Amino acid sequence: MLNRLLCVLVAVVVFLPCMGIGSLGVELSVSAESAIVMIAETQQVVYEKNAYEKRGIASTTKIMSSIIAIESGKLHYTTTVKAEDVSVEGTSSGLKAGDRVSLLSLVKGMLLSSGNDAANVTATMLAGDKQGFAELMNNKARVIGMKSTNFVNPSGLTEDSHYSTAYDMALLGSYAVKNSVFTSICSMQKCEISYGERGTATLCNHNKFLNMLDGAIGIKTGFTKASGRCLVTAVRRDGVTLVCVTLNAPDDWSDHKKLLENSFDKIQLLKVDLSLPLLIVVGSNKDIISTTIPREIIVPYVGEKPDVDVVIFAPHFLYSGVNKGDVVGSLRLYVNGVEFASDALLSNESAVVHNEPENKGFIEEFKEILRKGLS
């Protein structure tokens, strides 16, 4: 069994530079009033233009509404649609009062058809009303780190106090694309949803960006007269995900294609060599095992090499035997203070316990580790 857990901070990490995805690009001109490209895995900004100015975000709001729905754990719950939730202006997923619909169908309605009706029904289902749901949205925004955002409704219809920034929306997009359910839905070209007794309907994705670049995985379009054209997209290539946000962009499709291609050209890759100085004692016979991680970790970055820290959670002593490849601990890797990866810590060899463990204190056991490790 595992004895006391130790938390070890590895201060020295060896970087082995890999070939970059491309060379540095030239400065770009885009139509957007605000724009940003962010590396989703590290939240590093690759490009920005007025990214911290507060603006309307239109239906890109539904990214947050969808994430809350997905994380609720109630995707297969159903609800009866109320008339007041579907009597709404703007885009619709075709819901009518009395329909019986699942939360999963509502998420599809929000992400594919940008249904304001689906957003309202989601809010009522999960929080009782739009005001209560907006509180959930704002609470989640604080957790994600969106400090310049305020949500008032679940759909993105224009209200003066409903706003965000390109930077905050990139944080939201980076968070959302780590959820496999979210990415699978926003990447769909079309899908069927059930209205209950009224039958089914086919919804088509409004986001034509899915067909514009290799590796595109959505995310969400938006438009109101007040906000202009808003768009959040993501592209994943060779394990690197870039999130692009434009707000009030008359030529948003071209902006995103240009920004993402240029940003991938700037990405460099670092292979993090985790030579772990961790030895674990097994049994009273004091066999020592070394450890490793099961995969290679590659960190994308632009500009200067990032700061990397590794926190290891592992026992200093195992009372029972261990086989090669057994999980004996875990680690977390942080890039510039943001958690980038976590993984198991595996034993590099087997060790069999022949005798009962001696009843020694922590200090004596630690001295044994040092003596064995230095011998």
Out of 102, 105, 114, 263, which one is annotated catalytic? Answer: 114
Whole-angstrom distance, CA of residue 92 vs CA of residue 88 = 8
The question of whether 59 is a catalytic residue gets the answer yes
Please pick, among 49, 62, 130, 220, the residue that the annotation labels catalytic. Answer: 62
Nearest to 218 by CA among 262, 249, 172, 264: 172
Question: Left (φ > 0), alpha (ψ -120 to 50) or beta: where does 94 sit?
Answer: left
Q: Which of 174, 147, 167 is nearest to 63 (CA)?
A: 174
Catalytic residue among 34, 59, 105, 227: 59
- Which strands, in side-by-side order, build the sheet including 279-282? 5-10, 308-315, 327-335, 338-347, 287-292, 279-282, 317-318
Among this protein's residues, is 266 annotated catalytic? no
Strand-pair partners of 234 = 243
CA separation (Å) from 98 to 88, 113, 361? 16, 20, 68
Matching residue, tokens 């200090």: 363
Closest CA to 190 of 166, 207, 173: 207
Is 180 one of the annotated active-site residues of the chain? no
d(CA 312, CA 321): 21
CA distances from 185 to 178, 242, 270 (A): 13, 18, 31
Catalytic residues: 59, 62, 114
